[in-house]
Amino acid sequence: MSETLISARGVRKNFGQTEALRGIDLDIRRGEVLAVMGPSGSGKSTLLHCLGGVIVPDAGSVALGETVVSDLDEQRRARLRLTEFGFVFQFGQLLPDLTALDNVSIPLLLAGMKRRDALGEARDWLGRLGLTGLGRKLPSELSGGEAQRVALARALAPRPKILFADEPTGSLDSFAAENVMTMLLGLVRESGTTVVLITHDPRTAAYADREIVVRDGQLSGAARVGAL
């Protein structure tokens, strides 16, 4: 069995009087693709944000290897999000006034890479995701599937240890969704990147190695264990 890469112990998070997470214990193995399912409001996106260091749990801990992410201050968590974690969201969240190439190069520039090298790396990732020739286009000039693949390129370009994907195909038609997931899984299998995939869609979850279900802020058990 692969080693544990990231773990949560007793993670709790409240928003006002609402208990979003109620004591989550979870181990995620290096290189696995984990699908997190559950109804709207179940706490699955809150769990992703705690695992990714976007928010700090009110109780419990999140650890990446020997680093206790939940104990870090915002500056160190931001650095971790830039260098170790990648994020993809339902609507991509590309910067609308920047080209596809510039969108992909942003995390590389923020990490200190020289602009020429960052643009070269970004161009390479666009090519790997079937977007050669679209680097000069603005997000508004791309189809939904193309824009989401640009968002994937941006998340994968820094070569993160973990990719957190929150409903990455939720805004796409079935053909574009299948295309995005096929490319995503091919690239992460090649690189050994761990993926935490939030989804409502059983067809999307079927791409994962393992599924868990979050209900009312707690894990309700594994729905499926296996490998592609």
Domain positions in the chain are 1-84+195-228
Q: Is the pLDDT of residue 170 over 70?
A: yes
Across 132-137, average pLDDT: 94
What Rg value do the Cα atoms of the chain yield, rounded?
17
pLDDT band per the 50, 70, 90 thresholds, residue 36: very high
Contact 6, 63 (CB under 8 A): yes
Q: Which helix (H) or strand (E) holds 59?
A: strand 59-64
* CB atoms closer than 10 angstroms to residue 96: 9
Q: Is the pLDDT of residue 15 over 80?
A: yes
pLDDT of residue 74: 94
**Distance, CA of 190 to CA of 199 (rounded, Å):** 22
Contact 35, 204 (CB under 8 A): yes
pLDDT band per the 50, 70, 90 thresholds, residue 46: very high
pLDDT band per the 50, 70, 90 thresholds, residue 7: very high
Q: Is the pLDDT of residue 92 over 80?
A: no
pLDDT of residue 227: 37
pLDDT of residue 121: 95
- DSSP annotation string for 183-205: HHHHHHHHHT-EEEEE-S-HHHH
**Distance, CA of 8 to CA of 55 (rounded, Å):** 13
Burial annotation 158-185 (CB, 10 A radius, 16+ → b, else e): bebbbbbbbbbbbbbeeebbbbbbebbb
Residue 62: strand pairing partners = 8
Q: How many residues does the chain have?
A: 228
Domain 1-84+195-228, CATH: 3.40.50.300
Contact 179, 145 (CB under 8 A): yes
